[in-house]
Amino acid sequence: MVREASRREKKYEAKVDAEVLRAQTTALKPLMVKGQRDYFPAVTSLEERVKRLVEAKGVSTLEVRDYLNYSRELFKLTRKFEGITLSSEAQLKVNKWVDRGLNGETLVEVAYLLGVTPTAPQVPPTYICLRPLSRVGDWLYSPHITSVGNLTVGLTAGYLYATPHVVLRKARFNGLGLTYYSTTGTVRPGLYSDNGDAYPSALLLDCGSKSVVGELKVTIDLTLDPGLYWVVLVHSGAPTIYQSVSFITMVGSPTVLSHTITANVGGYYKSGYSPTNPLPAIYPSSASTMYQNILSYLKVAENL
């Protein structure tokens, strides 16, 4: 039965009566204070452990706040649910915060601190935002790619791969992402400038050696002007990574690009490298041409 609006209003008015609220608060105050007395030390201890965990992973100060918010949400769930219900509710929280740009594996590690065992969702390439001019928090693949899908390319250990990434608007980026179909070994990702003729040039960022995971998201802090850049990868193993379905020629304007990325060049590779060693200061000359465009993503921290 649908209740009339006037009846709803009267019930609400009676509920918020000052004397009624005072009586309820007086009666429940001992229980309310005890509940908070138990809650505050527990949640403070949890926040301290979460903060140590995520800071050790190099998480930015802004994202530390998000992980703490997530941990408090999980803590409240543990006070309301248990068993399968708790696991299901915790999984929804993990999925929500992955949607907001946090790392799935790190979210799962935070959950372990509370004895909860959700799983990190594997984010398909089409999940990542497609807009070249975007909001803070968006993950962007290069706008010279027309579409993404389930095509993959097998990589070779010891090859220094370079794949183009176009930045259309000056921005500060705080994440570099890759999506693997199969995982093995370690990878050292980095970013290079362009030499002015659609070829990688000087090293801008060496992210260090990382374990290859399905959705690899590396925390960075780099401001880039509009132009062409090169995401560079070298692996210890031979994983399979997602590539674009197709990519197009992009003719640059003087404010963005001074050259053309042609539709038959997806990047370059050069053998003889290892993720245990730092990336070379200058990308090697005479690299071989590759025709697959490896999907890479940059996360927007601030539009400038």
pLDDT per residue over 195-226, tens digit each?
888 889 999 999 999 999 888 889 999 998 88
Crossing angle of helices 83-99 and 61-78, in 10° steps, is: 160
Total tally of structural domains belonging to the chain: 2
pLDDT score for 253:
33
pLDDT score for 254:
32
> What one-character DSSP code corresponds to residue 121?
P
**Same structural domain, 67 and 174:** no
pLDDT score for 227:
84
Q: Token pair for residue 24? A: 């309820």
pLDDT score for 128:
40
Comparing C-alpha atoms, which of 257, 191, 269 is closest to residue 227?
257
**Same structural domain, 279 and 223:** yes
Q: Which residue range is the domain that position 261 belongs to?
A: 125-303
Look-up of token digits 């998480």: 59
Establish if 14 belongs to a structural domain: no
pLDDT score for 262:
42
**Same structural domain, 153 and 247:** yes
First to last CA, the chain: 55
**Same structural domain, 156 and 56:** no
**Same structural domain, 46 and 134:** no
Look-up of token digits 């998000």: 66
Establish if 11 belongs to a structural domain: no
pLDDT score for 22:
78
**Same structural domain, 106 and 129:** no
pTM above 0.85, yes or no: no
**Same structural domain, 105 and 183:** no
Among the three residues 78, 112, 146, which one is the final residue of a domain in this structure?
Answer: 112
Residues of the chain with pLDDT under 70: 1, 28-29, 31-38, 120-135, 143-150, 245-265
pLDDT score for 261:
42
pLDDT score for 46:
87
